Amino acid sequence: MAAEVHGGRAKCLQRLIRLDMPVPTTVALSFDAVRRIAHGWTPDMEALLAPFGEDPLLSVRPSSLDPDWGGPGAVLNIGMNGVRHKTLAAQIGDAAATALYLRFIQSYAVNVARLDAEPFRHAEGDLDAMLAAYEEETDEPFPQDPAQQLSEVLRFMARAWDGTTARILREAKGAPADAGLGLVVQAMALGVGAPESGAGVIQFADEATGAPQIKGRYKSQSQGRDALKGNGAIYLTKDARGPSLEELCPAIYADLVRFGTLARQKLREEMQIEFTIENDALFVLDAVRVPRSSRAAVRIAVALAEDKIIPREEAILRIPPATLNDLLHRQVAPGADRDVFARGIAASPGAASGRLVFSSSEAQASAARGEPSVLVRRETTPEDIRGMHAASAVVTARGGITSHAAVIGRGLGLPCIVGVSALAIDPKSRTVTASGQVLAEGDLVTVDGHTGELLVGQPEMVEPALGEAFQTLLDWADAVRDIGVRANADTPADAETARIFNAEGIGLCRTEHMFFEGERLTVMREMIFAESPADRAAALDRLLPMQRADFADLFKIMRGLPVCIRLFDPPLHEFLPTDKAGLRELAEALDRPLSDVTHRAREMSEYNPMLGLRGVRLGITVPEIYDMQARAIFEAAADVARHGDPVIPEIMIPLVSARREVELVRGRMDAVAAAVRAEKRAEIPYKLGVMVETPRAALRAGDIAESTTFLSFGTNDLTQMTYGLSRDDAGRFMSDYVQKGVYREDPFHTLDLEGVGELLAMGAERGRAMRPDIVLSVCGEHGGSQAAIAFCRAYGFDYVSCSPFRVPGARLSAARLAI
Ligand code: PEP
Ligand code: MG
């Protein structure tokens, strides 16, 4: 019997039978048979009923390929009729027999005959009234023929599988459109009668933590999963709080424990066993995978491998990388009440609550008071970095998956939702409106970066939990993967996180983020406004020791692992204030007239800054900035190497589109290195590489590779430029585009293998043809995803680099691909 033909439940029951567990007589109907039943075919009922003997009582359960796909609920006690009621009454007593009959009529009427539930609720407890209600509603007596009852139940369950709701629910869990349903017909073990009869459920691992533990309940005189609902159930294992099955029926308890161990060994999984005791005899009715949290999933898989029940590779394959995300961040507790205010793009996972604030300065003020805040902005700019640092979560009305807020959110491990287009923010009244509902500054809200929902109030949360099993699983993953994983880390805090998650180095340090910190912003602005080379040099001289300290910190934290530093990238005007108050403050700080500052700021603004004076273009037109950065890098490397591990910094040039750009920068870097070498009397080794972010750089990669040792593909900008699609504005219409099938996915989220991928492949091939030992990597946001990693492996890339919090998922993805 194959799960692909009869479904997972049927397959599992067959294995339990082979393990000699006391499973009642069971017959499985295949997907194909059930499909035909749904279309009106009736199976040969005599043949179907034959294995069950005279006057059978039966249950029918669904059996889909994957149990998570759901299916119609089980129907019990099929075969109950007037005659059976009488014989049963003689065996188990009138009350128990009547209760069973009543229960069956009621469930048949409501679920199978699709009758209104109300009249049957009225008739509860009174058999004559129940039978009369059925006849009243259908103009027919309650069917007495077990074959007719069973055939109707089968038809009902087969059709329920085709219902729209059932279809949508299972497709959301990954079921294909043509997923089939099998049905399992089983002889009932009654669970009612004397001397000990009842039903229960047992499992051997905790569903929240995965720790080994016998859990479940047993209830005398009950059926199915009754023990898990309502009162009257007892513990399974001896417990000071009350009676237990272990004391009531020690031999049966011992059998259950034995079956649990056997099932774990032979089914290679933690199973939950549904059992019934009839007349002191144990029956195993069903077994399903223990439902489990992400944390438990990891612990269970690792324990199975440590016990040599499954190989390590299989443990790795059993954990989808997204599961790890749940472990790294706080979550809204499953089942908690959710009052959804608005929805957007889930840009950075985790959940956090706080008081609503509308500006970075308010977020900082909140943090100073020790109050968590949620920062809501139309969009964030680099100026908001301090506010984002201070906030517990960020929401923007605009932007897509690679917008500033999204990138920084992921880098900081901060829950973030972007592109919440329904949000209308009114900065004057300090309120935000969505679908007619209004929230004001100070209102308590929660960001769920997992679902992309902004919630009113503070639902219950669950804490992140890494644990030993998590580390073990990732160690195993590292042992099999064949592509490197580095982290994108801009600050010492990021670098520490990268180390905790065992990144093999820093693949991208975006240095501009260092200039928004504290007093540096003012010095940076002085540098931007400098009128003479001497003034500019003076400002850069003040920035130098700060940058040197930044890099020294990174080198120390990374202890000899590679650190790839990208030279300054954004357009300079991003460092200038945008509002009047900010400009006034700046004029005061620089001791210049306001009109002068406003004029200069206006002069620097660009129509299309993403394609303007930024990246290497700035490095070539204002080379002193790169000179200062190079000096800071070399001096820091020499200082740190003197006392610790050798440091060979990697310097990366952003937004290159022509080889000559690289040569010009290389000339200056070499000059600075020579100067530092002389001053420090130290070797100053370094590697210079190019960030491939423009289509031209990919096309000309062969030419460019001649003067560089590595190529790192910045797939954020490369996607933006390949599509001609603004990273910061696409969020506004992206969902329309995806819904209408123009794009299969948001290309900023899922690497476009067909278009951008072709540029990557071409760049990699041309670069490698020119320089076979060239190091190739991807450092855009896509780097952490399994699809991008698969692509990179196929083209022989050396490593991917992603946000520190995505490193564990990337390590696992890479291992799964290598297995
Ligand atoms: C990129 O463009 O892919 C990249 C990594 O750089 P940034 O996101 O800083 O533009
Ligand atoms: Mg870029």
Intra-chain end-to-end CA distance of the chain, in Å: 28
Read off the pLDDT band of 702 (50, 70, 90): very high
Give dist(CA 760, CA 715) in Å, integer.
9
Poorest-confidence range of 204-218, 250-264, 518-532? 518-532
Q: What is the largest CA-CA distance in the chain?
A: 107
Mean predicted confidence (pLDDT) in 42-58: 93
802 catalytically annotated: no
For the CA of 779, the closest atom of ligand 1 is 5
Q: Break the chain down into helix, strand, coil percent, rounded to 5.
A: 50, 20, 35
Work out the average pLDDT over 448-470.
88
Task: Report the DSSP pairing between strands 271-278 and 431-434.
Answer: unpaired
Measured from the alpha carbon of residue 406, the closest ligand is 1
| 654 CA: nearest ligand 1 atom | 6
Determine the Cα angle at 113 with ends 38 and 121, to 5°: 145
Nearest Cα residue to atom 9 of ligand 1? 510
- Place 573 in a pLDDT band, splitting at 50, 70 and 90: confident
One of 3.30.465.10, 3.30.1490.20, 3.30.1550.10, 3.40.50.280 is the CATH number of 3-187, namely: 3.30.1490.20
Q: pLDDT tens digits for 387-429?
A: 888 899 999 999 888 888 888 888 777 899 999 999 999 988 9
Are 296 and 208 contacting, i.e. CB atoms less than 8 angstroms apart?
A: yes
C-alpha 653/C-alpha 693 separation (Å) is: 10
Q: For 682, which DSSP code?
A: S
**Catalytic, out of 779, 782, 792, 802:** 779
Separation of CA 710 and ligand 2 centre (Å): 16
Taking the C-alpha atoms of residue 412 and residue 415, their distance in angstroms, rounded to an integer, is: 9
Ligand 1: atom nearest CA of 693 is 2
Average pLDDT of the segment spanning 554-578? 93
Q: What is the pLDDT of residue 229?
A: 79
| The amino acid at 428 | K
List, in sequence order, every residue forming a beta bridge with 62; answer none if it has no partner. Answer: 183
> Within 13 Å and on the Cβ side, how many CA atoms surround 774?
30
pLDDT of residue 727: 85
Ligand 1 center to 726 CA (angstroms): 13
Ligand 1, atom 8, residue with closest C-alpha: 716
Instruction: Say which residues have a Cβ less than 8 Å from residue 103's Cβ, sequence separation at least 6.
Output: 76, 77
| Residue 399 CB–ligand 1 contact under 6 Å | no
Question: Is 295's pLDDT higher than 90?
Answer: no
pLDDT confidence band for 179 (50 / 70 / 90)? very high
Residue 508 Cβ < 6 Å to ligand 1: yes
Beta 453-456 vs 340-343: how paired, if at all? antiparallel
Question: Please, which pLDDT band fits residue 134 given cuts at 50, 70 and 90?
Answer: very high
Assigned CATH for 198-289: 3.30.470.20
Instruction: Give 276 Cα–ligand 1 centroid separation in angstroms.
Output: 60
Ligand 1: atom nearest CA of 510 is: 9
Q: Is 294 in the pocket of ligand 1 (CB under 6 A)?
A: no
Residue 125 CB: number of other CB atoms within 10 A? Answer: 10
Q: Whose CA is nearest to atom 4 of ligand 1?
A: 714
Per-residue confidence (pLDDT) for residue 777, from 0 to 100: 98
> Residue 749: pLDDT band by 50, 70, 90 thresholds?
confident
* Residue 361: per-residue pLDDT: 86
* Annotated catalytic residue 779: yes
CA distance linking residue 760 with residue 797, whole number of Å: 10
Residue of 6, 329, 404, 513 marked active site: 404
Whole-number Å distance, alpha carbon 717 to ligand 2 midpoint, is 5
pLDDT of residue 762: 98
Per-domain residue ranges for the chain?
3-187, 198-289, 331-462, 483-512+548-569+616-818
Whole-angstrom distance, CA of residue 557 vs CA of residue 686: 18
Amino acid at 185: V
Q: Please give the CATH superfamily to which domain 483-512+548-569+616-818 belongs.
A: Phosphoenolpyruvate-binding domains (3.20.20.60)
- Is the CB–ligand 1 distance for residue 510 below 6 Å? yes
**Quick one: average pLDDT of 683-694?**
97
Predicted confidence band of residue 381 (pLDDT cuts 50, 70, 90): confident
Q: Is the CB of residue 716 below 6 angstroms from any atom belonging to ligand 1?
A: yes
Taking CA atoms only, the protein residue closest to ligand 1 atom 3 is 714
| Percentage above 70 pLDDT, the chain | 100
Binding site membership of 780 for ligand 1 (Cβ less than 6 Å): yes
Taking the centre of ligand 1 as the mean of its atom positions, its distance from the CA of residue 626, in whole angstroms, is: 18
- What is the pLDDT confidence band of residue 686, given thresholds at 50, 70 and 90? very high
| Residue 728, ligand 1, Cβ within 6 A | no
Ligand 1 lined by 715 (C-beta under 6 Å): yes
Nearest Cα to 807, choosing from 524, 477, 516?
477
- Reading the block at residue 277, the tokens are 């005791």
Name 705's Cβ contacts closer than 8 Å, sequence gap at least 6.
711, 766, 767, 768, 770, 771, 774
- Tell me, using a 6 A CB cutoff, whether residue 784 lines ligand 1: no
720 Cα nearest atom in ligand 1 = 2
pTM: predicted TM-score of the whole model, two decimal places: 0.83
Distance from Cα 322 to the centre of ligand 2, integer Å: 25
pLDDT tier for residue 71 given thresholds of 50, 70 and 90 = confident
Instruction: With H, G, I as helix, E, B as strand and everything else as coil, classify residue 104.
Output: helix
CA distance 359 to 283: 64
Q: Are 271 and 290 in contact (CB under 8 A)?
A: yes
Mean pLDDT of the chain: 92
pLDDT tens for each residue of 98-111: 989 999 999 999 88
| Residue 226, pLDDT score | 79
pLDDT at residue 16, rounded to an integer: 96
**pLDDT at position 327 over 90:** no
- Alpha-carbon span 589 to 523, nearest angstrom: 10
Q: Which of 224-233, 359-368, 409-418, 590-599 has the lowest mean pLDDT?
A: 224-233
The fold of the 331-462 domain, in CATH, is: Glucose Oxidase; domain 1 (3.50.30)
Which tens digit of pLDDT belongs to each residue from 602-623?
A: 988 898 888 999 999 999 999 9
Tokens 């069971």 identify what position? 26
pLDDT score of 370 more than 80: no
Q: How far is the CA of 389 from the centre of ligand 1 (A)?
A: 20
The total of other beta-carbon atoms located within 10 Å of residue 674's CB is 12
pLDDT at 309: 98
Average pLDDT over residues 244-251: 95
State the distance from the centre of ligand 2 to the C-alpha of 475, rounded, in angstroms: 32
Residue 402 alpha carbon, nearest atom of ligand 1: 8
Q: Tell me the two tokens of residue 327.
A: 């472990």
Between the CA atoms of 650, 654, 660 and 663, what dihedral angle is there, to the nearest 10 degrees?
-20
DSSP state of 276: E
766 Cβ contact list (under 8 Å, min separation 6): 699, 700, 701, 702, 705
Q: Where are the alpha helices (DSSP H) in 645-784?
A: 659-680, 695-699, 701-705, 715-723, 731-739, 756-770
Contact 236, 217 (CB under 8 A): yes
Which residue's CA lies nearest to atom 10 of ligand 1?
Answer: 717
Cα dihedral value 557, 558, 563, 567, nearest 10: -10
Q: How does residue 324 score in pLDDT terms, banded at 50, 70 and 90?
A: confident
Cα–Cα dist 567/268, whole Å: 52
C-alpha to C-alpha distance for 158 and 36, rounded to whole angstroms = 9
